[in-house]
Amino acid sequence: MTYSMVKTCSNKPTPVTLVTGLLGSGKTSLIRHLLAHKPPQERWALIINEFGDIGIDGAVLSAQDTPLFEVNGGCICCSAQANLAQALNKVSQHESLDRLIIEPTGLGHPAQIIDLLQGHPSAQNFKLQNSFCIINLANFDLDRYQKSAVLRDQISLADYLVLNKTDLVSTQQLEQSETFLKSLRPTKAAIIPTQQAKIDLNWLDQTPTRPSFSLLEAPVHQATVSQSIQTDSQLPEVMRAQIQVGPVSSIGWVFAPSVLFMRPAVKQWFDTPPPGLVRAKGLIRMGKQWQQLNWVVGHLSLEEQAWRADSRLELLFDYEVDPKPSFQALEKSLTNLIQVRDL
């Protein structure tokens, strides 16, 4: 019986753990540690991506009881993505597995790996359970975070941050790094300080809680809301719509990732916003990328973000909203901003 037949019958896809991090952060060391402590009755597989044609990490991680598939000669986040699909097909030929660990190169953005795991036919027997970003604290500071788009994407994407090499930094530097990373959005399920990339194996079994629906965090909004209403939406591919009514009111939507926001139309909409709008925030798909949207007192900003599981938009008003007519009017105006396209 092939692996794919087992998954079809049991309807339990193999959980996938994604391990990201810049070059030298400790990804290979972490995976070696996990393999050394793997329960003997469990069967795992590895997909290791190295940018060059000579697989160094693969040679280090090879183990007789753990099938290993190397994807060399490019980054599986972009140029070698087809090779990743082929590797997933090969993994599918193995008997039932308990876990697949994927380690992309430290040079690439991992967002497209998740795109593939979410919808590609080669990934139908796999499900992303959690993702870890390994950070070398000895080389981490605010300046590097701001300059490295790859690092920002890896951190934004991850469910868990592993702060490695804590023995090489001061207590103050560790505390400052933790404070900064805890301030980022979306918030992380956990931040794990460690040395030599050694983490408890139990972290692999955790399925993190995804970020909450609310994007806006204005204290006055939270203090004055008197009623929260779940409502039906007439917009396409809306997974959830919510109205919070009070002296300060908000209206928000969660869209499927197939919803595409059109940049020119979004900019035009915010040039002439609806009366009473005082704040807007969103994480929305534009083209093949996601953007963080912020609008305050007539100023709109869009900043590229890592892959998201959905798109979210929330609008804050300074007057009490009548849910039915205001919601309907807003939705009618928003229909011109979106299209539905496959990922």
What CATH number does residue 294 fall under?
3.30.1220
How large is the average pLDDT for residues 206-215?
Answer: 67
% of the chain at pLDDT higher than 90 = 33
Beta strand pairing call for 289-296 and 277-286: antiparallel
pLDDT beyond 50 at 146: yes
What is the model's pLDDT at position 68?
Answer: 83
How large is the average pLDDT for residues 33-49?
Answer: 90
Q: In this structure, is residue 211 part of a structural domain?
A: no
What is the model's pLDDT at position 222?
Answer: 41
252 and 298 share a domain? yes
What CATH number does residue 43 fall under?
3.40.50.300
199 and 327 share a domain? no
166 and 247 share a domain? no
pLDDT beyond 60 at 254: yes
192 and 327 share a domain? no
Q: In this structure, is residue 197 part of a structural domain?
A: yes
Q: In this structure, is residue 213 part of a structural domain?
A: no
Distance, CA of 104 to CA of 82 (rounded, Å): 14
% of the chain at pLDDT higher than 70 = 78
Q: In this structure, is residue 212 part of a structural domain?
A: no
> Which pLDDT band holds residue 292 (cuts at 50, 70, 90)?
confident
318 and 185 share a domain? no
Residue ending a domain, choose from 160, 176, 205: 205
Q: Are 171 and 93 in contact (CB under 8 A)?
A: no
- What confidence tens digit (pLDDT) does each residue in 262-287 have? 999 999 999 998 888 888 888 899 98
139 and 254 share a domain? no
How large is the average pLDDT for residues 68-85?
Answer: 69
Q: Are 256 and 240 in contact (CB under 8 A)?
A: no
What is the model's pLDDT at position 49?
Answer: 79
39 and 178 share a domain? yes
Residues 6+ apart with CB under 8 A from 281: 215, 216, 293, 294, 295, 313, 314
Distance, CA of 245 to CA of 319 (rounded, Å): 9
What is the model's pLDDT at position 52?
Answer: 38
> Which pLDDT band holds residue 227 (cuts at 50, 70, 90)?
low
Q: In this structure, is residue 156 part of a structural domain?
A: yes
Q: In this structure, is residue 19 part of a structural domain?
A: yes
pLDDT beyond 60 at 316: yes
> Which pLDDT band holds residue 194 (cuts at 50, 70, 90)?
very high
Mean per-residue pLDDT of the chain: 80
How large is the average pLDDT for residues 321-329?
Answer: 65
Query: What is the extent of the structural domain holding 330?
Result: 219-340
252 and 198 share a domain? no
Residue ending a domain, choose from 205, 233, 259: 205
pLDDT beyond 70 at 164: yes
Q: Which residue has the higher pLDDT, 223 or 62?
A: 62
Q: Which residue has the higher pLDDT, 120 or 3?
A: 120
225 and 188 share a domain? no
39 and 78 share a domain? yes
Q: How many domains, in total, are found in the chain?
A: 2
Q: In this structure, is residue 67 part of a structural domain?
A: yes
How large is the average pLDDT for residues 245-260?
Answer: 82
- What confidence tens digit (pLDDT) does each residue in 176-190 have? 999 999 988 778 999
pLDDT beyond 60 at 240: yes
Q: In this structure, is residue 148 part of a structural domain?
A: yes
161 and 82 share a domain? yes
What is the rounded radius of gyration, in angstroms, for the C-alpha atoms of the chain? 22
Q: Which residue has the higher pLDDT, 164 or 4?
A: 164
Q: DSSP assignment of 273-288, as one string?
A: PPTTEEEEEEEEEETT
> Which pLDDT band holds residue 163 (cuts at 50, 70, 90)?
very high
What is the model's pLDDT at position 130?
Answer: 92
233 and 265 share a domain? yes
What is the model's pLDDT at position 159?
Answer: 92
What is the model's pLDDT at position 111?
Answer: 76
